[in-house]
Structure 1
Amino acid sequence: MFKKGSKINSIVFGLCPKCQSESMYVKRNPYFGKLFKMHRQCSVCGTKYKMEPSFFYGAMYVSYALGVALSIAVFLISKMVFKHELLQSFFAIIGALVLLMPILNRLSRNIWINMFISFDAKASGPQSD
């Protein structure tokens, strides 16, 4: 499922979409350090992550979709499993969105860049299975 060369591998782990050999982010953990601090380019294949100014503005749409999906999931779990009232469900949604915001933002950036750059086995060097 997370084999090198699959989009899901690059999206979940935040790896370079072209070679999948290096993290795109300076700090791998989004909770510690700067959330959006990325390397300028991949040191293995040379892919530039910011292809044009404001490239990652499009990731806001992906982030919105992920946030809506998370909100619906939290609401359904809150109402059906825990039998919470509407106000309690609302607070559960807000809490989940605030706690998972760094992960959602990075995930949306990873999805966005993977929509434009595909894996290239030649750029990654020898494959390891």
Structure 2
Amino acid sequence: MTDSSTYPAPAGSTLMGILQQRCPRCRRGPLFTHSALNLAHFTEMPTNCPVCNQVYEPEPGFYWGAMYISFGFSTGMMLVIGFLVYHLLGDPDTWVYVTAVAVIAVLMTPFNLRYSRTLMIYTFGGVDYDPRYAAGT
């Protein structure tokens, strides 16, 4: 473990840990090395948590399953956008729906990928929160 004083206090709940994309065991270490807005590196994750040394990829190919979560996010996003376009723009031509969905899907890609992976490790990673690791000991 490294000096954990440089990392924020642990997220207060599982939901906050997911929203802040923190390690599922200590809820302090970041799951990703760069900002979601860094388009060249938004997918990069450290191998282990810098606070508690939890392995972020429990088995090879673990995050392939996150594609299903990402598909659910994309489908939900498409339905919401379609509903909003229909009601706010008064049922415009098909190209308006396609353009709106495509533009928003591309803009949301970094967030979709990151939250899919975060949910994957929290749900299927087999790791539970441990306050001893949150303290950095």
Q: Same fold (TM over 0.5)?
A: yes
- Give TM class, smaller chain: 0.7 to 0.9
The percent of aligned pairs where both chains have the same amino acid is 23
In structure 1, how many angstroms separate the alpha carbons of the residues matched to 2:93 and 2:15? 36
Corresponding pairs, count: 123
Deviation at 1:4, TM superposition (A): 2.2
2:128 is aligned, of 113, 118, 125, to: 118
Tell me which residue corresponds to 2:99. Answer: 91
Unaligned runs of 5+ in 1: none
Deviation at 1:82, TM superposition (A): 2.0
1:21 is aligned, of 19, 28, 31, to: 28
Verify the 8 A CA contact 2:11 2:20 in the aligned structure 1. no
Q: TM-score normalized by structure 1?
A: 0.88
Q: TM-score normalized by structure 2?
A: 0.83
In structure 2, how many angstroms separate the alpha carbons of the residues matched to 1:104 and 1:74? 15
Deviation at 1:5, TM superposition (A): 4.0
Instruction: Describe how 1:19-98 pairs up with structure 2 within 5 A.
Output: 19-27=26-34, 29-32=35-38, 33-83=40-90, 84-98=92-106
Question: Does 1:104 pair with 2:112?
Answer: yes
CA deviation string 1:4-38 (max 9, x = no partner): 242221221111111011211111x1221412211
Stretches (4+) displaced over 3 A:
none
CA RMSD of aligned residues (A): 1.6
